[in-house]
Every structure is written in structure tokens, then in C-alpha cells.
Structure 1
Amino acid sequence: MTSLEDLPLRSDLRGLTPYGAPQLHVPVTLNVNENTHTIPEPVALDIVSNLARALLTINRYPDREFSELRDRLAGYLGHGLTRENIWAANGSNEVLQHILQAFGGPGRSLLGFVPTYSMYSILAAGTGTRWIAADRDADFELTPATAADWVTKTQPDIVFLCSPNNPTGTPLSLETIEAVYAASSGIVVVDEAYAEFGARGTPSALSLLPGRERLLVSRTMSKAFAFAGARVGYLAADPAVTDALRLVRLPYHLSALTQAAANAALAHSAEMLAMVDDIRDQRDRLVTELTRLGYAPHRSGSNFVLFGGVENPRATFDALLADGVLIRDVGIPGHLRVSAGTEAETSAFLDALARLEPPVGPVPTNAIESIN
């Protein structure tokens, strides 16, 4: 039987492992930052109706320019954006891949601040883009001075800023984004996959777009819209950027069914986002209760909490799994990450954790070795 080593694989891909969190069937699944609330039934029925209409013309290729979807996304984002500012793809990962295909590649580099979303380095490897891992400040923060200094030292072609950051949940200030953009001569991408979960009034990098043609703001419908299974990601940028991304997309890359489902969901954005307040409440509850149990949760602007003070993350992970609760070991020593679920799911996690041995106290954040 042929093995991977027997194939003429690109040399820069040898030794790498594919991205993927455990997909296990357990009562409480809080490991991949999904929105665990279900879509309201009236909205689901409208989506089904829209899909049925799309099926009547499924023998034809879909709208290559996904015009209605771009209009709806622009309307949802506001900030004076129009369809010319919008790009979309099959999940925000494909959006980021398009960016690297257009602006990265062999001989070019991508800068990210670790620990951060591990798909950044994987997408860099897949497109032949050199990955530069920059350090963060204490407690996973990222100040304007630190970020700009790394850009100045490394002169990357692309910078990815995760706001709020995954897996730490750390919010990112507009001042840091402005500092990075000013120090860079290349593309600056702000990944706002979890933006809707920030505190009310938190400004978006969308407000920085005017006059900054190299700034791109990426979003997703997977999280706040509870649409992870539909695979819809998008970005806002200068119209010249969307022209560039057309050069690397596959023909008709967004299916008619994907477009129909997303359009129907966006038509009900208020109902779809009504659950966000509940998720924020459960995230804040996690921070409070983890602290009470003796752990060290980090501040979070997302729908998950990274917490330290875990003596043996693998053993704690396994013990919780045996109790029917799946969370995430992200590879940061002394830490685990948990998504904010429904009230019942959050209670199940906290009760299971409370039954374990008490924590040993926080682990210094400079002990980071790897991130999954």
C-alpha cells in the first residue's frame, strides 16, 4: 500500500499535519467555538423555502458574481459599503486562502502574532508563502508599539491580525491596527470572525477602511449567525482588492444553494443575532466561575474563554471528555479553551470541572511552545 512518503509531495509540505479538531459525539461539545444555539424555526423554514426555489434552476451555473449576496452583506456591515467592497467564499478560510493566492506565494511572506489561529500558517504553507511568527506582549496582548516593531523588522508582504484573537480571545485595539498599517507597505488583514461577540460599542476595523486601500476586514457567518455548516465567509475592502481576488477564485465558487441559504439568513439578521447576548452572558459567566474555581481565565471578546492554571491539560481534557464534555487543548502549557454554549451546556462544563482536582494556579504566558 502506498504511503504519503512514497508520493512526490512538495518538499515544503512534508512533515506537516492537516488541521482538524476532534469531532466526537458527546452530550456537550464546546471545543471549536461553534454557536451551539439552533437557528429559530421560522428562519429555518424561510431558508428551506429559498433553497427550494434555487433548486428549480440548479441545472444552471450560479451567479458568478453572487450579486444579491454581496448587496446583503454590504447592507449588514453598514459603514457606507457597497457590493463593490465585498468578497465572499466558502468559509473565511477560503477568503484568507484567496488573499494569499493573490498577494502571497513563493518569495513572499505572511506575518502573524502567535499564539493565533493555526490555519494562518497552514494556509501560508499551502500557498508557498513564508510564515513569520511574531511574539505578543504579556497575557497575549498586542500593543501598537510591539506590532509595529515586528512589521518594521520583518517587512512582510501580508500581515494577519486576529481581532479578537483565537485561541486567546484577546481583543485588539484600533490603534494597533492603525500602527501596523502605517508601518507596512503590504496587505493588512484584520480577521474579525468573532467581532459580533465583543462588548457593545466595540469599534470594528471596518471604520478604518476609508483611505486605506491595503486594509482588508474578514468576517464569517459561522459564529454569530450559527451558520458553521453552511460555510460562508466574506470580507470588506477597497474595490481593487475584490478585482484582485477574482483572478484566483475557481469558476462559480459559491454554489446556488450556498447563496440562497446565506441570502435568506441575512434577511433575518436580527433574529439570527438575537442569541448573541445570551452567548456573551455565558462567556462572562465562564470567566466568573472559572476564577471562583481557582483557574486564571484571560479576558475575552469572543464566544470562548482560554483559562490557565491547569496542571495537566491533557489529563483534564480526558477527564472532562469521560464526563461527556468536549473542550479544546490548544497546545498552550497549563491552559485549556472552552466555548460559551447554552446555559445548560455551560453548567454541564462547570459542574464537570468542579468535580476534578483543584487547579495549581496560572502558568506564565511566556511558556508557550505550540498552538493547534
Structure 2
Amino acid sequence: MTADLVRPELPLRPELAGIAPYGAPHLHVPTVLNVNENPYAPSAEVVADIAAAVAEAATGLNRYPDRDFRALRADLAAYLLVESGVGLAPEQVWAANGSNEVMLHILQAFGGPGRTALSFAPTYSMYPEYARDTSTAWVTGRREEDFGLDPDVAVATIERHAPSVVLLASPNNPTGTALPARTVLAVLDAAARVPGGCVVVVDEAYGEFRRTGTPSALELLADHPHLAVSRTMSKAFGLAGARVGYLAASTAFVDALTVVRLPYHLSAVTQATARAALRHAPELMAQVGSLRDERDALVTWLRDRGLTVADSDANFVLFGVFDDRHAIWQGLLDRGVLIREVGPDGWLRVSVGTPQETQAFKDALVEVACLES
């Protein structure tokens, strides 16, 4: 007689039980404006350069890649000098598989059991997941009604919770709000007084889309060794599919991340792809300018129709306020336009697309929300 089969339980961490994985809806519709992608595919010239670089890298795929990706770090430092006017040594730059992995490295190095990470809501929904995955306590303060951050409130929140990590998204996701330098400086000063130390990470995933006159936190690096500024090649460079994120910080900060990274975490193919794209930065940044113009025009259009719109320095726009935002979202989807149901109640977020995609969104929204055309 066959013995009863014993089905052992999986020893899943209790805090992970019943949790669904992160992910925005991935639906096949004509107009996809829900995940803040660059709507423009790489040009034929960029594709050819990437293909040639990857082909060359492929000849050595039997060997491990440069573990410290020194050439890529030098190229990223050179790019940031042009983009933000801030000179950095390659040793001050770190990269990984998307800014998500960069952030995870930060929490692995500076978070952990008995430590706290802090941000200000509403903000990027992945932040608490980085904290959870590294057994770091997660707390949030509140942003103002216009989604800005009051420096006094930020300082008081840091003093109350004594975090090891402060995460500031600027421009903020999902609101598009950029932080003035005085606010970041207030946070840096408060973090410097936290017993045991505290690092501040300014997440500039959408930094290239900021409006003229909006500073980058990169300008503050020289005087603040506990500051890191995170960027990505997914948005402005249109490389979401390549998964390349990076940060700039002091060499001591970067050295700490080398301890927690997995060996050879950045493949030779990824390094070759990123370096090839960086060679075309002037062309790609010109494209960013057109997306800024499209964003500003969309903000004006929405406001002219009586909607409330958050000021945006990103490649997306948060707008509302609707009594039933899901009905608006669903009505747009029924008309072939996918946007994001995210942020505070009543608000919706739309990515900036091509002029044709933006027009499709406008036409659908006029019908669904009964707006003037």
C-alpha cells in the first residue's frame, strides 16, 4: 500500500504571504501611455551602433564581463558633465540592471533589520518593496496638497524617525513634482545629524525632462558625501528594454555598493548597449526637448478644460480630480487608450506620447469625461 504523500510547506517569509508582485497593466491596445516610456524607438543609426557593439561583445561571451564596468562608468561621468555641468570621476558612478537594482543595492548596503527607510507620500510605489525585500522598516511622511515637500515637515519627520535611508524622488513619481535645492539641502542637513548616519538618495529617473531652471541634485554632491543621485537610461534614452540604471555619489558611497552587488551583475551585452547609446546622447536629448514641449502643451490643454493638473518636470502628467477615476480609466481603455490609475484618490496619470498618441488620448478623454474638444 502506497504511503500517503507528504506535501511539505514552503517556508515563505511571513511578510511575503499573499502579496501580489509589482506590475502595471500590460495590455495590447493601440495607445499605451501608462508606464512613462519614451514613445520613440531608437533611430536606425542608434540601432546599428548598438547592434555592432553587441556583436563585438558577443565574440568574448565565453569570458566574464568587466566586473567593475570601468569604461561605462567613464562614459556616464562624461555624459553627466555635459547634461548637468557636474564633473565626476568614474569611481563616483555606479550602474546596475535598471535603477530598481541600484535602489536595491542601496537598501542592501545601508538598510536592513533594525534600520528604517523614509520617504514622503505619494511617491514611487516600489520604494516600500525595496525596504520589505531587505527587511528594512518603512515609514512615510506626507507631501503638501500641491505635492511639494515642506522643508520643516521633512526635517521634523527625519528627526522623529532617525532613518538610515531617505528616498526623495525629484521629479516625483507619480506626481511629476521637482524639489527645489533648498528642500534637498534641508533634508541633507537633517540626515547629517541622525545618530549612526543616514544617506539621502535623490531619484532623478526623469531628471532630463525637468523644466529650464530646475536644478539637479548632482550640483550638491561635492559637499555632501552622504548624498547619491540616481538616474536611468530607460526614459530619456529610450532604453527601457535594456535595463540600465546608475547613480552618482562619493567614492565611499559607491565603494559600499560594491560589497553587496552580485558578481558580474552587469553583462557585457548590457555594457555594450549602454555605451553605444551614450555615443548618441546629443540626438536623444534633442528628442527629450520635443517631449518636454508636448508635456507642457498637454498640461495647458487639460487645465483649459477645467481639470486640475500637477506641475510636471517629468515625461508624464497627473490630472484629475474625478469622483470615479476607475470609470474614466476604463472608458479610455475601451477606446484603445491605456493610462495609469495611480496616485491619490481621484487622480490619473498619463505618459507623454507622440503627437498622434496624445491626440488619441485627448479625443478619448473628451468623450469619456464629457469635456469640450
Instruction: Give me the TM-score of the superposition, normalised by structure 1.
Output: 0.93
Q: Give the AA of the match of 1:313.
A: R
8 Å contact 2:159–2:190 — kept in the other structure? Answer: yes
Matched, 1:91 2:94: no
Match of 1:175 in 2: 182
**Distance in structure 2 (CA, Å) of the matches to 1:37 and 1:234:** 22
TM-superposed CA distance for 1:324, in Å, is 0.5
**Deviation digits for residues 291-337 of structure 1, max 9, x if unmatched?**
12221111111000000122211111111011110000015211100
Secondary structure of 1:355 counterpart:
helix
Matched, 1:103 2:119: no
**Distance in structure 2 (CA, Å) of the matches to 1:190 and 1:338:** 23
**Does 350-359 or 206-215 show the bigger shift?**
350-359
Q: Give the AA of the match of 2:121.
A: V
8 Å contact 1:192–1:218 — kept in the other structure? Answer: yes
**Distance in structure 2 (CA, Å) of the matches to 1:263 and 1:141:** 35
Which of 314, 319, 329 matches 1:307? Answer: 319
Between structure 1 and structure 2, the one with the greater Rg is: 2
| Superposed counterparts of 1:77-88, under 5 Å | 77-78=80-81, 79-88=86-95
Unaligned runs of 5+ in 1: 360-372
Q: Give the AA of the match of 1:46.
A: D
Match of 2:63 in 1: 60
8 Å contact 1:142–1:172 — kept in the other structure? Answer: yes
**Deviation digits for residues 89-134 of structure 1, max 9, x if unmatched?**
0000000000000000110000010010010001100110000011
| Superposed counterparts of 1:182-261, under 5 Å | 182-184=189-191, 185=194, 186-261=198-273
**Distance in structure 2 (CA, Å) of the matches to 1:358 and 1:107:** 52
Which of 125, 128, 133 matches 1:121? Answer: 128
Secondary structure of 2:167 counterpart:
strand
**Distance in structure 2 (CA, Å) of the matches to 1:6 and 1:26:** 40
How many aligned residue pairs are there? 355
**Deviation digits for residues 260-297 of structure 1, max 9, x if unmatched?**
00000001110122211111111112111111222111
Matched, 1:321 2:333: yes
**Deviation digits for residues 13-46 of structure 1, max 9, x if unmatched?**
2233211001111110000011111112111111
Which of 1, 20, 25 matches 1:17? Answer: 20
Q: Give the AA of the match of 2:216.
A: S
Match of 2:310 in 1: 298
8 Å contact 2:175–2:343 — kept in the other structure? Answer: no
TM-superposed CA distance for 1:11, in Å, is 1.4
**Distance in structure 2 (CA, Å) of the matches to 1:99 and 1:337:** 28
Unaligned runs of 5+ in 2: 1-7
Which of 131, 140, 147 matches 1:133? Answer: 140
Q: Deviation above 6 Å: which 4+ runs of structure 1? A: none
**Distance in structure 2 (CA, Å) of the matches to 1:20 and 1:357:** 27
Q: Give the AA of the match of 1:315.
A: A
**Deviation digits for residues 336-358 of structure 1, max 9, x if unmatched?**
00001111100110111001233
8 Å contact 1:93–1:233 — kept in the other structure? Answer: yes
Secondary structure of 1:134 counterpart:
strand
Secondary structure of 2:223 counterpart:
coil
8 Å contact 1:137–1:146 — kept in the other structure? Answer: no
TM-superposed CA distance for 1:54, in Å, is 0.5
Secondary structure of 1:275 counterpart:
helix
TM-superposed CA distance for 1:6, in Å, is 4.7
**Distance in structure 2 (CA, Å) of the matches to 1:357 and 1:253:** 47
